[in-house]
Amino acid sequence: MSDKVIHASDADFETTVLHSETPVLVDFWAPWCGPCRMIAPALDELAEDYAGRAKVVKVDVDQNKATALKYNVRSIPMLLLFKGGQIQASQLGATGKAQLSQMIEKAL
């Protein structure tokens, strides 16, 4: 796991994501979710590739129910791209690194 991937909680989501100076790709996931584990290496790579220009943040939906509820997370993995505290793009379900990279590039 990359040390560049940030794990956010209900308590620090606003500070970590909504008040970020750079775009933030948020992965709503859970440890028991197979597709979530499948895309984890791509997220690690993206965190390394975009270090300093964008953040990759993971939110465990089982541990952070308030945040998951606020963003209407009904299925995981669900990825939201935030810029300036607003959702810029979303992706439901597992996808490849290239598609996620495109989401980040559009926000930069």
Which positions ≥6 away from 62 have C-beta within 8 Å? Answer: 30, 31
State the sign of the Cα–Cα–Cα–Cα dihedral 84, 89, 95, 99.
negative
Contact 69, 10 (CB under 8 A): no
> What residues are labeled active site?
33, 36
